[in-house]
Amino acid sequence: MEPASGVAELGRWLEAALKSRSGANAVFDILGVLQSDEEDDILSATHTCSRLFGALLERGELFVGHLPEEEAAMSGSGSALQKYKVWMRHRYNSCCSRLSELLGHRSFKVKELALCTLMKFVQLEGAHPLEKSKWEGNYLFPRGLLLSVVEGLIPTEVDSSLLISRFQEYLEHDDVRYHTMQAVVDLVARVTDTHQQQGVPPTFWNNTFTLISAVSLPRQQSDISNFYVKHKEMLKKWKVTQLKEHKHVFEKMWFSFLKHKLPVSLYKKVLVIMHDSILPHMSQPSLMIDFLTNAYDIGGAISLLALHGLFILIHQHNLEYPDFYQKLYSLLDPSVFHVKYRARFFHLADLFLSSSHLPAYLVAAFAKRLCRLSLTAPPEALLMVIPFICNLLRRHPACKALIHRPSAEASGLTADPYDMKEKDPAKSHALESCLWELKTLQRHYHPEVARAALAINQALSPHEVSIAQLLELSPYEMFEKDFKKEESGLVPLEFLQPQGLLGRRGDLSGEHFTLD
Amino acid sequence: MGKARGKALGSQAGGRKAKPPSNPNPFEVKINRQKFQILGRKTRHDVGLPGISRAKAIKKRTQTLLKEYKERDKSNVFTDKRFGEYNTKITPEEKMMKRFALERQRNNEKKSIYNLNEDEELTHYGQSLADIEKFNDIVDSDSDTEERGMLSAELTASHFGGGGGLLRKKTSEPGEEEEKPKSRKELIEELIAKSKQEKRERQTQRENALELTEKLDSDWKEIQFLLSRKTSKLEKKDKEEKPKPDAYDIVVRELGFEMKAQPSDRMKTEEELAKEEQARLKKLEADRLRRMLGKEEDENIKKPKHMSADDLNDGFVLDKDDRRLLSYKDGKINQEIDDPNEEEQAQEGSEEDWKEREGDKESDTEDSEESDAPDSHSDLESHVDSEEEDIIHENQQKKQLQAPEKKSSDANQKAMIEAARSELPYTFAAPDSYEELKALLSGKSTEQQLVVIERIQKCNHPSLAVGNKAKLEKLFGFLLEYIGDLAAKAPPDLKTIDKLVVQLYSLCQMFPEFASSSVKFVLRDVVHEMEEMIEIKGRAAFPGLDVLIYLKITGILFPTSDFWHPVVTPALVCMSQILTKCPVTSLQDVVKGLFVCCLFLEYVSLSQRFVPELINFLAGVLHIATPNKGTSGYTLVHPFKPLGRNSELLFVSDKEDMDTWPKKGLPLSKVNGLKDSSKTETNHIRLSCVSVCLNLIKRCLAMYSTLPSLPEIMKPIKVLLTEHIPECGHPRELQELCQSILQEMENQGKNYQPLVCEKSKPVPLKLFTPKLVKVLEFGRKQGSSKEEQERKRLIHKHKREFKGAVREIRKDNQFLARMQLTEIMERDSERKRKVKQLFSSLATQEGEWKALKRKKFKK
């Protein structure tokens, strides 16, 4: 069939099907085109279906109630109208199933159109329910249809983040969001059941994460007013109107997701959004305690990320975490200056250590350990960590002994009393040590770092230095800063004339490298 | 009315107060006692004279108020007919003038017999007084001298003889002239007529004299030019009359005026030159040290530039002594071509000329470049700061000194350069684009390229034309780009770069600003590229050889020991990024990384600054040289991972290759492509890498020996060297190197001095001195704005004036009432008196009448 004539043909069929019930057989032709492999055909057929069933739904020409088997209905006794309605409903169902199949089509255009069409059906079906309401004020929503949509959105094989981002606009509606969350719970359970032996493919988890991380609940009850399916009046007793219920379902969805074994990268992603898009929307955030403490115990970057979630629980939900600071102390290793989440970690560490009720030995241990680690840190991290350490010393005057120990008794130490390997900050002898590392950093090659380290030569000023804008400092920004700094006067020049590329200063490069 | 009067009264009273009467009656003085003495307050009303002032006030009122009161029902008015008395539009001067004019008019109207002179001119001896005052009448003064002391008989007679004289005359010759003796009136008329005639005569005489002088003047003018000619001749005659100067004098004069050789500094000896050079280097080194310690900024702020008291503050600075020292070199005057035109001519001279000159140069002991050097120096003056100019100048001197020694070794090369020289054209236009430069240089040998660039530089020297500076600046940029291209070629042309660096250096010395900015932009491109790669891939690859060369050149062109330097500091950040952000994936990367480490060490070799990245990288390199067993006892930082694909990159297991390993430097040219080398060769390079790494570590150890936390810094390396490296079975040389490093580590004194803050200044005690507020004027409200103060002042003044006015009015009323009362009392008493009088007269009448009556009765 030619596409151009196909469109005209489809139009004619549509007209016939909508004009009178006798032309209903044209629906078969339309559905036939929908089955085709050609992209254009599918697109036009989808459009036609959308208009056809949209009109039928509005007219109420589809069977309402529990659908009988097609053969039984056809052969059984009943009015011709009844039979027609049952028949048409079956066509509608097959159309919907085909469309949800198309959600897995290779072309994004088709996928998008199928999604939109299905969502349009959802809206119309919600307005003209195909189920009989069992009692007065019964809330009806096309859950089955939405479930098939969600199933199409999180396939197990291919990445569907594009389609999900398209779906996000529907997620802004409170009812769609509510039911999608329910559908996800069902779906995750079903998929894990079916893949019990060979294990669930990671793409499924990735897709699921993309979908559920896009869900964000309104902050207040009064914000729930945006419904996709418009009802005449929204009854208070309907669950969909209650934020509490939303939160409940949200929580259920996340737990159904997190209780399975996830890829490591996904854990990181979950932890990254934990503090600001998961915990505040849960009805009982303390349920996350186990997850977060386990993640915190893993070590490395995951621990760093779990910190924020844990902090919220400790701070707002009364979580008692023994050895929290010891754990935090053990997180400090040389990689902490090189990882991506450096800014986040130091922001939190600053928060944790901001309490003035911490014992001096603990703060001293932190300061000393950070100093020791700073011997391997890049300049951009040093610019941040030196004021950080100075702030610690300012908050805890007892720790000032680290930089100012006038009594002569300790002079002539042969080794640093601080024990780097000791896990317990209480036993690390940090208070007996001094911050010689900062003294070393006064000779750092970067002028800003050297200047920052020079601060300990004088008595520290009582005011803390804000490190907020230093947290995110990247080496590139540092370079740009040096680059743009206005030089005053002339550029100093080297006064010894070179004799060649590796020549005169020949001490090192000439010694170890040759030109050929 | 009352108010105005009161004011006048007040002012009068004030005026009187300024001059108090010499000794007032003590009973009239009232002293207002002050309760408190307040410093600085003016006391205005401490002493008063109430009786006197009351009397004054009463007097004033009787003069004004009482008068008015008395004239209250009178309609007569006093009119002042003085001209313009109440007209304020006329200024007092005009008023006086007009009044004067009117007065004169009035005077003229009435004729007086005594008014002799119709004209109003006042005269003395018939001359106007005004003229006399000018003292311009010379003739008169002459006549005065002639008849000094003599008065005319008439005059004496008339003035001093008085009536007597006249009377005598009258009596002596009564009948001679007229029978009737002259009356007094006649006599006087005669006298007057005489004097008038005299006056007229004198006037005509004076006019004649004036006429004559004028005529004389005009005549003089006519003959003046004749006279002047004559006088010149006269003078000549005078000169000829002078004695002729003899030859000796002439010679003496000539010698006196002859141009003398200016006294100059004596020639400098070799030792002195060396000493000067040393002093210069010392100064530069001191400068460098100052910058290294980062003191420059503070000092600049603190120390204002010295300014002489004679400084005109016109921005003029005598920046250098223009005189040139006369110096000799190998028995010849070290002459500098000063004239740019001359030089230009030389440049544009014919080819033969050039060849000749070159021939000369070859015979000279000087290098060919040297002869060009001085002129480049002389031309720099206008463009380069005097200090740098000095540097270059001295450099060239140094080169000249070195030249003889260098000559023999470079003879070969020079011959080649000469060959190249002769083949190439002598002038080149400066390239406008990079492509042009590339076209110029492509296909030429290294020597030829050098010559081309040298000639471009010479032909476009900034002193020759206006736009040349920009052209050469561009040349610097192009050369930099060209070097990058050379380094990026498949077998990099490092030899050419090696030579071009010198040219680049000299260009950089000429244009430091432009050079620094172009190098900065090259570095920025490098960093930007890396940043982009990190953003996309999460990690960056090691940059190519060109970047390494750029970094090396940066270190050559600029002083690396400065605390902060506009080019070097960004370069350091760039190197730090290379070492921390680029994972080591191949042997080339190791070589590149080691080269960057080497550069880092070179950069900080003078300033001895601490570079954490360097230690990290070297530890990482040692790690990849050991068999893979994970990290025990040390931790690796970012670009290196304890386990993984590249964790055994430098590990050599082949015993044979180890034995055959020759110790030599790492070839930089292999950095771009190392793939095609054999396995043995690769193993050798690996070993060389380890060797270089160990050497660098040793160097670091020596450099950082003074750092307080050296053991902590070196700990991972120490662990690697003691536990892991010995297991690799490296060649003996390397093992010895390891041992020596370990030995040195042991030897480093581990002295931990507790830290002590510098003593801060003691905080001064709080002193409770009162806060001093400057009081501008007493009695004025402080602490508000000017407008507010003015407003308050006006309100206060109004209040006072109002009170004063009320008081005055009250006093006026009291006065009036008193006056009315006295009037009434007077009137009453008058009436009483009159009534009394009437009664008394009536009583007397009555009495008289009664008395008469009684008399009648008696009768």
pLDDT at B359 (0 to 100): 43
Q: What is the DSSP string of B778-812?
A: TTSPPSS-HHHHHHHHHHHHHHHHHHHHHHHHHHH
Q: Is the separation of the CB atoms in A113 and A63 below 8 Å?
A: no
pLDDT at B195 (0 to 100): 93
Q: Of A92 and B825, which is predicted with more confidence?
A: B825
pLDDT digits (tens, 9 = 90+) for B160-172: 554 444 444 444 4
Question: What is the SS3 assignment for A489?
Answer: coil
pLDDT at A10 (0 to 100): 78
Separation of first and last alpha carbons in chain A:
71
Q: Of B131 and B739, which is predicted with more confidence?
A: B739
Say yes or no to pLDDT of B151 above 70: no
Touching check for B699 and chain A: CB below 8 Å?
Answer: yes
Question: What is the SS3 assignment for A192?
Answer: helix
pLDDT-derived band at B405, boundaries 50, 70, 90: very low
Rounded-to-integer distance, Cα A130 and Cα A134, Å: 12
Query: With b meaning 16 or more CB within 10 Å and e meaning fewer, what string describes B598-621?
Result: bbbbbbbbbbbbbbbbbbbbbbbb
Note whether B760 contacts A415, CB cutoff 8 Å.
Answer: no
Say yes or no to pLDDT of B801 above 90: yes
Average pLDDT over residues B94-105: 88
Say yes or no to pLDDT of B561 above 80: yes
Q: What percentage of chain B has pLDDT greater than the value 90?
A: 12
Which are the contacts of B544, defined by CB distance < 8 A and separation ≥ 6?
B487, B488, B671, B672
Question: What is the SS3 assignment for B440?
Answer: helix
pLDDT at B302 (0 to 100): 42
pLDDT at B153 (0 to 100): 57
Distances (CA, A) of B308 to B304, B313, B453: 12, 9, 46
pLDDT digits (tens, 9 = 90+) for A348-361: 888 888 888 889 99
pLDDT at B813 (0 to 100): 94
Say yes or no to pLDDT of B298 above 70: no
Rounded-to-integer distance, Cα A224 and Cα A394, Å: 48
Distance from CA of A327 to the nearest CA of B (A): 19
Rounded-to-integer distance, Cα A174 and Cα B762, Å: 67
Residues of B in contact with A457 (CB under 8 A): 757-758
pLDDT at B721 (0 to 100): 86
Rounded-to-integer distance, Cα B612 and Cα B638, Å: 12
Residues of B in contact with A488 (CB under 8 A): 297, 300
Say yes or no to pLDDT of A506 above 80: no
pLDDT digits (tens, 9 = 90+) for A327-348: 888 888 888 888 888 888 898 8
Note whether B755 contacts A439, CB cutoff 8 Å.
Answer: yes
Rounded-to-integer distance, Cα B332 and Cα A514, Å: 42
CB pairs under 8 A between A and B: 258
Average pLDDT over residues B182-187: 83
pLDDT-derived band at A189, boundaries 50, 70, 90: confident
Which residue in chain B is spatially nearest to A372 when comparing CA positions? B712
Domain boundaries, chain B: 425-510, 583-748, 794-832
Q: Which amino acid is at B366?
A: E
- Complex prediction ipTM: 0.77
Q: Which of residues 319-378 of B touch A (CB under 8 A)?
A: none
Which residue in chain B is spatially nearest to A403 when comparing CA positions? B755
Question: Which of A414, A435, A497 has its CB closest to that of B395?
Answer: A497
pLDDT-derived band at A81, boundaries 50, 70, 90: confident
Burial of B672 (0-12, 13-18, 19+ CB in 10 A): middle
Rounded-to-integer distance, Cα B588 and Cα B542, Å: 9
pLDDT digits (tens, 9 = 90+) for A190-210: 888 887 777 777 888 888 888
Rounded-to-integer distance, Cα B430 and Cα B472, Å: 7
Q: Kindly report which listed range (A21-35, B526-540, B732-746) carries the lowest average pLDDT score.
A: A21-35
Question: Which of B515, B602, B709 has its CB closest to that of A440?
Answer: B709
pLDDT at B305 (0 to 100): 47
Touching check for B86 and chain A: CB below 8 Å?
Answer: no
pLDDT at B828 (0 to 100): 94
Touching check for B95 and chain A: CB below 8 Å?
Answer: no
Say yes or no to pLDDT of A487 above 50: yes
Rounded-to-integer distance, Cα A234 and Cα A139, Å: 9
Rounded-to-integer distance, Cα B709 and Cα B581, Å: 25
Q: Is the separation of the CB atoms in B579 and A376 below 8 Å?
A: no
Tell me the range of B70-74, B350-354, B767-771 where mean pLDDT is highest: B70-74
pLDDT at B168 (0 to 100): 46
Neighbours of A135 (CB within 10 A): 5
pLDDT at B189 (0 to 100): 92
B293 alpha carbon, distance to own chain's centre: 30
For A127-204, list the strands marked E by DSSP.
none
Residue owning tokens 């309605």: A85
pLDDT-derived band at B113, boundaries 50, 70, 90: low
Could you give the dihedral angle defined by the CA atoms of residues B742, B743, B744 and B745, in that order, rounded to the nearest 10 degrees? 50
Distance from CA of A394 to the nearest CA of B (A): 14
**DSSP letter, residue B267:** P
Q: Kindly report which listed range (A213-217, B58-62, B673-677) carries the lowest average pLDDT score.
A: B673-677
Distance from CA of B617 to the nearest CA of A (A): 10
Give the count of alpha carbons within 13 A of B230, CB side only.
Answer: 5
pLDDT-derived band at B60, boundaries 50, 70, 90: very high
pLDDT digits (tens, 9 = 90+) for A218-231: 777 777 777 777 77
- Spatial CA neighbour of A291 closest among A322, A328, A254, A325: A254
**DSSP letter, residue B260:** P
Residue owning tokens 């109004």: B798
Residue of A339, A442, A445 for testing the chain B interface, max B β-carbons within 10 Å: A445
pLDDT at A154 (0 to 100): 80
Note whether A434 contacts B604, CB cutoff 8 Å.
Answer: no
Q: Of B653 and B846, which is predicted with more confidence?
A: B846
Residues of A in contact with B694 (CB under 8 A): none
Say yes or no to pLDDT of B846 above 80: yes
Note whether A513 contacts B665, CB cutoff 8 Å.
Answer: yes
pLDDT at B411 (0 to 100): 61
Say yes or no to pLDDT of B597 above 80: yes
pLDDT-derived band at B653, boundaries 50, 70, 90: confident
Rounded-to-integer distance, Cα B620 and Cα B611, Å: 15
Residues in chain A: 516
Strand partners, B667: A514
Average pLDDT over residues B467-477: 85
Residue of A461, A495, A511 for testing the chain B interface, max B β-carbons within 10 Å: A495
| Average per-residue pLDDT for chain B | 75
pLDDT at B816 (0 to 100): 93
Q: Kindly report which listed range (A139-148, A219-228, A234-243, B115-124) carries the lowest average pLDDT score.
A: B115-124
Note whether B752 contacts A488, CB cutoff 8 Å.
Answer: no
pLDDT-derived band at B812, boundaries 50, 70, 90: very high
Q: Kindly report which listed range (A58-72, B609-623, B677-691) carries the lowest average pLDDT score.
A: A58-72
Distances (CA, A) of B351 to A23, A152, A270, A342: 104, 87, 81, 69
pLDDT digits (tens, 9 = 90+) for B23-39: 778 888 888 888 888 88
Residue of B278, B413, B549, B712 for testing the chain A interface, max A β-carbons within 10 Å: B712
Average pLDDT over residues A115-139: 77
| SS3 labels along B372-405 | HHHHHHHHHCCCCCHHHHHHHHHHHHHHHHHHHH
Q: Give the pair of three-digit tokens for residue A127.
A: 């307005």
Could you give the dihedral angle defined by the CA atoms of residues B665, B669, B674 and B678, in that order, rounded to the nearest 10 degrees? -60
Q: Is the separation of the CB atoms in A127 and A230 below 8 Å?
A: yes
Model-level pTM? 0.61
Residues of A in contact with B498 (CB under 8 A): 500-503, 515
| Average per-residue pLDDT for chain A | 81
Touching check for B508 and chain A: CB below 8 Å?
Answer: yes
pLDDT digits (tens, 9 = 90+) for B696-732: 998 898 888 888 888 888 888 888 888 877 777 788 8
Rounded-to-integer distance, Cα A244 and Cα B9, Å: 95
Q: Which of residues 707-736 of B touch A (CB under 8 A)?
A: 707-713
pLDDT at B222 (0 to 100): 83
Give the count of alpha carbons within 13 A of B661, CB side only.
Answer: 29
Q: Of B381 and B810, which is predicted with more confidence?
A: B810
pLDDT at B83 (0 to 100): 79
Which residue in chain B is spatially nearest to A334 when comparing CA positions? B637
Say yes or no to pLDDT of B810 above 90: yes
Could you give the dihedral angle defined by the CA atoms of residues B240, B246, B247 and B252, in that order, rounded to the nearest 10 degrees? -100
Note whether A509 contacts B602, CB cutoff 8 Å.
Answer: yes
Domain boundaries, chain A: 1-132, 141-261, 332-406+416-485
Could you give the dihedral angle defined by the CA atoms of residues B88, B94, B96 and B99, in that order, rounded to the nearest 10 degrees? -90
**DSSP letter, residue B770:** P
pLDDT-derived band at B674, boundaries 50, 70, 90: low
Burial of B330 (0-12, 13-18, 19+ CB in 10 A): exposed
Note whether A434 contacts B755, CB cutoff 8 Å.
Answer: yes
Question: Which of A404, A441, A512 has its CB closest to that of B692?
Answer: A512
pLDDT at B160 (0 to 100): 58
Neighbours of B437 (CB within 10 A): 23
Note whether A501 contacts B572, CB cutoff 8 Å.
Answer: no
Question: Which of A372, A412, A436 has its CB closest to that of B755?
Answer: A436
Distance from CA of B295 to the nearest CA of A (A): 12
pLDDT at B132 (0 to 100): 65
Q: What percentage of chain A has pLDDT greater than the value 90?
A: 5
Say yes or no to pLDDT of A75 above 80: no
Could you give the dihedral angle defined by the CA atoms of residues B375, B381, B383 and B386, in that order, rounded to the nearest 10 degrees? 130
Say yes or no to pLDDT of B196 above 90: yes
pLDDT-derived band at A86, boundaries 50, 70, 90: confident
Give the count of alpha carbons within 13 A of A332, CB side only.
Answer: 26
- Spatial CA neighbour of A278 closest among A300, A258, A250, A314: A250
Residues of B in contact with A436 (CB under 8 A): 708-709, 712, 752, 755
Question: Which of B559, B598, B757 has its CB closest to that of A508?
Answer: B598
Q: What is the DSSP string of A371-385?
A: HHHHTT--HHHHHHH
Say yes or no to pLDDT of B535 above 50: yes
Q: Of B17 and B574, which is predicted with more confidence?
A: B574
Say yes or no to pLDDT of B232 above 70: no
B234 alpha carbon, distance to own chain's centre: 61
Average pLDDT over residues A148-159: 80
Average pLDDT over residues B384-390: 44
Which are the contacts of B39, defined by CB distance < 8 A and separation ≥ 6?
none
Say yes or no to pLDDT of B360 above 70: no
Which residue in chain A is spatially nearest to B576 when comparing CA positions? A378
pLDDT at B750 (0 to 100): 67
Touching check for B753 and chain A: CB below 8 Å?
Answer: yes
Question: What is the SS3 assignment for B328?
Answer: strand
Q: Give the pair of three-digit tokens for residue B835.
A: 């009534």
Residues of B in contact with A456 (CB under 8 A): 755, 757
Residue owning tokens 């008849």: B147
Rounded-to-integer distance, Cα A499 and Cα B3, Å: 102
Say yes or no to pLDDT of B202 above 60: yes
Q: Is the separation of the CB atoms in A417 and A433 below 8 Å?
A: yes
Q: Kindly report which listed range (A32-46, A291-305, B385-399) carries the lowest average pLDDT score.
A: B385-399
Helices and strands of chain A, counted as H and E runs = 23, 1
Which are the contacts of B536, defined by CB distance < 8 A and separation ≥ 6?
none
B752 — phi, psi (to 5°)?
-105, 105
- Spatial CA neighbour of B581 closest among A371, A441, A378, A446: A378
